[in-house]
Amino acid sequence: MIGVNTVASLMGVGFIVGTKTSVLMFGGSVVAWLALIPLIKFFGAGMTEPLFPSKVPIAEMGAFDVWSNYIRYIGAGAVATGGFISLIRSLPTIINSFKQAIGGMGKGETESVKRMDLESPLTWVIAAAVLGFLLTWFVPIIGGGFVGSLLAVLFSFFFAVVSGRMVGLVGASNNPVSGMTIATLLIVTTVLKLMGNTGDLGIKTALMIGGVVCVAIAVAGGTAQSLKTTFIIGGTPRKVQLGMFAALSLASIAAAGTLILLNSAYGIGDVAVPAPQATLMKMIVEGIMTAQLPWTLVFIGVALAVFCFMAKIPILAVALGIYLPIGLTAAIFAGGIVRDLVERKMQPAAKGKDAKDDKAVEKGGNVAVDKAVEKGILLASGLVAGDALIGIVIGIFAAIGTDIAFGLKLFPVIAGSNLTAFGMFLLLAIWIFIYSTRKDRSK
């Protein structure tokens, strides 16, 4: 069951990503839940033995069981392929970025540096890399070993360059973090297996090394975004970098504490905290280590991703729709519908011609649409952040064993009714629409 706060957050996500992306995600879920699952149930209804990877006959499964045992692997194949295609399409930028980074390292300072060009010393970066190498090697919970730690540093260096360059050119939303992390996991897991580091220990080690590289990729992208903004406003890069060093040191403690809290309260990977990307990484690593990945299902996902690529359809949106439960993508789709209604409401009609072709309308009307969308995105972002904060608060009560479901106890019929939940969901959509399209009375 999906919490009300999560549904509100997902509607906010749908408004933020836009109508097209939300429709594609829901379309992927429609393919999975209204086509693939019925087909699997139909052809497997007469089977008396379980079909790998499930341990239960298909005839005894419900829709969610079929999705969990079969469709997720199709979605995993599609998501992984989408990540790789995104990575391959970025290769020219990757190679160019790497060449520029390597070339810039050998240039010494021959004249005084301006304030806007002041950077943290390169020795700090080297010292941080050495420290990361040693921690990945010797910290017991990671246990990367010499080879694993070396791979972590090498992949972090290479993909950090890629991430920083990609964000600097096209923005954080186009940073292929998942694709680069999957590529890291595939190579690291294969190397560990060849070295004899298999079983649960090998799986844990591969995931921890992949986690180190993933964090490096994400931090590099965030740093590039911050430094790009610093350059635009005329700031000093060194001060921003020092601030990020301090902020990341504190944020890592807070993030680790939050993850431990959520895991103890709900269990990461459970229905309450599904963590789809983490589950995908785990499936890939386990499949390589145990050689028991259902490759037929994975290749079906690969074929779907290739079809989307050939049809010029955004791959990752459809792939995520296949991979995620339809209950999640339906809420995202609803948010996309609200955004479309807001844009239609604020787009003035141009008689006899397209509104976008009318210069007068373009100057006035499209500005109104942009302002309405910005207001809606601000509200939607608040819903997403609010869901995260409320989830932590609920997790604290759950961890200490305190039941705060007062409404369900006092009004079980109303609070537990699907009709009540639908009504609140509808009211939320109306509120977002009214708030976004309301005129600013301050003027």
Q: How far apart are CA 293 and CA 298, in angstroms?
A: 8
Task: Tell me the CB-side half-sphere exposure of residue 32, using CA atoms within 13 A.
Answer: 37
Report CA 171 to chain centroid distance, whole Å: 15
Task: Tell me the CB-side half-sphere exposure of residue 192, using CA atoms within 13 A.
Answer: 34
Low pLDDT (below 50) residues in the chain: 1, 108-110, 349-365
The reported pLDDT for the residue numbered 268 is 78
Whether residue 20 contacts residue 381, with contact meaning beta carbons closer than 8 Å, is answered with no
197: helix, coil or strand? coil
The reported pLDDT for the residue numbered 66 is 92
Q: Which residue shows structure tokens 């409320």?
A: 390
Report CA 185 to chain centroid distance, whole Å: 17
Q: What is the mean pLDDT of the chain?
A: 80
User: Please, which contacts does 203-206 make with residues 24 or more away whose CB atoms are closer than 8 Å?
Assistant: 203/282, 203/285, 203/286, 203/289, 204/143, 205/142, 205/143, 205/144, 205/145, 205/148, 206/285, 206/289
Model's pTM, two decimal places?
0.72
The reported pLDDT for the residue numbered 362 is 44
What single DSSP character describes residue 266? Answer: T
The reported pLDDT for the residue numbered 364 is 45
Task: Tell me the CB-side half-sphere exposure of residue 197, using CA atoms within 13 A.
Answer: 20
